[in-house]
A and B are shown apart, each in its own frame.
Chain A
Amino acid sequence: MAGLAADRRTFLKGLGMLGAAALVPGCATSTTNSSGSSGSASGELSLQSNLSAEQAKAAMEKLVEAYGKTGGKVKLNTVASEIFRTQLPTYLTSANPPDVYTWYAGSVANSYAKKDLLLDVTSVWDGMKNYPQSMQTLSTGENGQKIFVPTSYYWWGMFYRKSNFAKWGVTPPKTWEEFLAVCKTIQGKGVPPIGIGLGDTPWVASAWFDYLNIRINGAPFHRQLLAGEGRFDDPKVKAVFTKWKEALPYFDPKGKSFPFQEATSALLGGKTGMFLIGTFFADSAPKDALDDIDFFQFPIIDPSVPVAEEAPTDGYFASKKAKDPEAVEKFLAWLATAEAQEIYVKNSSGTVIPANPDGKAADTPLVRKGKAMVQDAKELTQFFNRDSSDALQPTADAALTKFLDKPHQIDQILKDWQAAAEKVFKA
């Protein structure tokens, strides 16, 4: 039965494909848009959400319900994440787009803002003075307008089961050498030390690339590389893979075949030792297992490199063509309140941290530790596609899964990656 969740998603994806295929030809060159004043009489806002995991979806419903009590009317439309991602450009360029969207801050939002598709939400930010500067920067487009309202962030880390670590007699490592030693011990117990899920979700491998790169070459180099200002066949990038190679014998060979949700099951079932993943994995984990879950920071490789962590920020942006911009701004301002963010935290798996500094995160040791790690970091990165683009992500997927399979072909892989990336940047 392990495949059921994945199966339903794949099925939905199939449906989405049909939808996309039907929609796209129709809008092929219709980049000219109507004024968008087709406003619905009901004054109801439409909220397009990609939070389709069970707990996250339930939390979104609660959130919309709570907003309803304040007198606002919002219609929630939940779409499977993969479909949402591929359809987003279609939504935004359509003549009558949904008003508000769950999505990611940083270069992802920026790329849409650059094409003048996002609503200027600067006025919402007037009420968000308590947000840290880093969040403001992240939510500001190139022309200085605010285009995004962050509502939560989470962290990536090496998750493991406390009881299993105790059973195997290992403690969380701090450095790369210690990490490899832990891997060796766990392998000696007959368990693949490092879990991964590349089946339907090859992007999970990007976390390894991101972390090794920010640990070895530093966050500024990483960001430049992803912005197209570096080359993937650079010797500095190759150094990342040379390091990665040392850990390859410890990866779960079955991880190639299943998605990260099943890798989560493998971790919880004690079939793998550790798993580099974002806290969103908890949305598809049983809540009682979470008490036994802990994480450690990705091992330090070069102590002279300022420590950076991956802390993707989630939130909302709105369509430029929103029918009732005032109502949208009111809704976004409400979402930015500590109260609204706490409603979400309480009703979801509780592993995200409110973006509003006054918002209370779930008071668990796990979340306290995660929050502290992010706050102590010298630099923050978002994630591969969020720091680069959705279009660059497939190039990383191909390169990294191939590396995991055929590490000796690394020179050719990096050459191909660079060629594929150039094509994306040129398009």
Chain B
Amino acid sequence: MHRISPLILAFVFVPFAIEAVWVFWPALQGFWLALTNWDGLTAPKFVGFGNFHDMVTDPIFRTALKNTAIWLVLFGGLSVIGGFGMALLLQKERRGVGIYRAALFTPVVFSLVVTALIWRVFYQPDGLVDSVLRGVGLGNFVRPWLADPDTALYAVILPALWRQIGYVMVLYLAGLKAVDPALYEAARVDGASAWQRTRYVTIPQLKGVNSVVLSVIVIDSLRSFDIVWSMTKGGPYHSSELLSTYMYSTAFQSTQLGYASAIAVVIFLLALAVILGYLIRAFREET
């Protein structure tokens, strides 16, 4: 039996202690604050589950919940499909393929706030989007993209996707590289078409990558905040509100920190439910 070196113990416990002070303790406080009414200045007032009760009848909360679901499906779904599609297209080593890969990956390098700035310029009245639409004779579709409650959310999803697809593509490219070429050879010898090779060789081989992509997507969807906040602040009149932006604005603009903490608890539970759900399924498949 080895004695564990104090240095190694330090590597475990020092970060843990820091984490405990800066992450776990505030998180626990968040649970407590969710049961109070607090304006951030005076002492919190205990209200039990009052905040959660208010949430049920709060139309803005319901919009935010619905939008978060839309975000999860559209942003999550499309970035997987798009990223996988791009990876398939760009997996073969050809001349110049590196340029295309780099081009698709570049948006990931920019901060989302900067991305939002650029896209806002596109969307502004008489901006690029409007000019293009007018140029191709679709002037009827011109609208205040970020200020129209019917389009604001989707206008924000687009730049978020533009960025995420490159990221997911890189994950899949790495996965595709790991597939044994002999499998394709064998499939080809058996007379499998390109589609069949993708369906029966590539996709099953990517199972490991899929689980990584799924967790990345779910976490990224639920924590999406910066791009929405920089582009619309959840507006106009809460129509592009996500749970995260609603939590922020209730906390720091309306200074209802108790209610905001309650929203944070809901976000936490949602994330937990999705991830636990996935883990349970994964374990079942293992056994």
Contacts and interface: CB of A to CB of B under 8 A. Distances in A.
Interface of A: 2-3, 6-7, 10-11, 13-14, 17, 20, 24-26, 28-29, 31, 86, 89-90, 92-93, 112, 115, 117, 198-200, 202, 253-254, 256-258, 390-391, 393-395, 397-399, 401-402, 405, 416, 420, 423-424, 426-427
A351 B40 CA distance: 35
Nearest to A31: B43
B146 interface: yes
Contacts of A17: 226, 229, 248
Contact of A7 (B121, B123, B252): B121
Nearest to B253: A394
B41 A31 contact: yes
Contacts of B258: 427
B29 A10 contact: no
A413 to B, nearest CB: 9
Nearest to B239: A402
Given A31-B41, A89-B41, A257 B146 contact: yes
B272 to A, nearest CB: 19
B237 A402 contact: yes
B26 interface: yes
B205 to A, nearest CB: 40
Contacts of B60: 398, 420
A202 B235 contact: yes
A416 B41 contact: no
Given A3-B120, A93-B41, A256-B236, A390 B147 contact: no
Nearest to B225: A17
B113 interface: yes
A20 B252 contact: yes
Contacts of A390: 253, 255
Interface in B9-65: 22, 26, 29-30, 33, 37-44, 54, 59-60
A7 B127 CA distance: 14
A405 B37 CA distance: 33
B13 to A, nearest CB: 21
Given A14-B229, A391-B253, 16 more contacts: A10-B116, A13-B230, A26-B26, A28-B29, A31-B43, A89-B41, A90-B40, A93-B40, A93-B41, A115-B41, A258-B124, A399-B237, A423-B256, A427-B38, A427-B39, A427-B256
Contacts of B26: 25-26, 28
A20 B259 CA distance: 18
Nearest to A266: B125
B233 interface: yes
Contacts of A394: 249, 253-254
A115 B254 CA distance: 17
Contact of B124 (A14, A257, A391): A257
A2 B238 CA distance: 26
Given A89-B40, A257-B125, A10 B147 contact: no
29 contacts: A2-B124, A3-B120, A3-B124, A7-B121, A11-B114, A13-B230, A14-B226, A17-B226, A17-B248, A25-B22, A25-B29, A89-B40, A89-B255, A254-B126, A256-B144, A256-B236, A257-B146, A257-B147, A390-B253, A394-B249, A398-B235, A398-B238, A405-B149, A405-B236, A420-B60, A423-B54, A426-B37, A427-B39, A427-B258
A10 B125 contact: no
Contacts of B113: 10-11, 14
Contacts of B38: 427
B256 A29 contact: no
B256 A393 contact: no
B254 to A, nearest CB: 5
